[in-house]
Amino acid sequence: MDKKLLLNISGHPLSDLANSQAKERGYKIITCPVPNVDLAEPSSIQNYIKTVFDTLTKNKNIVRAIKTGNYIVIPPGLSILTSGITAMLHGLGGAFPNQLILVRNNEGIYELGDVFDLQKMRLDYRDFRNP
């Protein structure tokens, strides 16, 4: 299979360090342009998510990676945007995406953090749904 895609939807370019780390981990980096959004206006947030969706689904390799779970996403830092992007990716792929966050190191440079497996977390806590 192809390299695992690293979808950078953070709205920020990766640092040289983060780019190097991604390549060392065997990721193919795809940076999705992120439009400006008015956080006080729900329709602006919905339009933002639709724009990201339209951008991602123009590429059949990205769609295939999402549908097969062969990707990791660096989400936007703002929680309302991240939850919307996560919901959109879940809708497209049928499972929650693995996420990476960018972590500021002691030198002030952003580098890749650890993978955060949202689908596993969902399944781990699912047993508590029905007592």
Q: How is the chain split into domains, by residue range? A: 4-126
Question: Model-level pTM?
Answer: 0.86
Residue whose tokens read 């062969």: 70
Q: How confident is the model at residue 131 (pLDDT cuts 50, 70, 90)?
A: low
Here the tokens at position 40 are 């006080």
60 CB-near residues (< 8 Å, 6+ apart) = none
Question: Closest Cα to residue 18, out of 87, 92, 127, 111?
Answer: 111
Tens of pLDDT, residue by residue over 51-86, are 999 999 999 999 999 999 999 999 998 888 999 999
Tens of pLDDT, residue by residue over 114-129, are 998 998 888 888 888 7
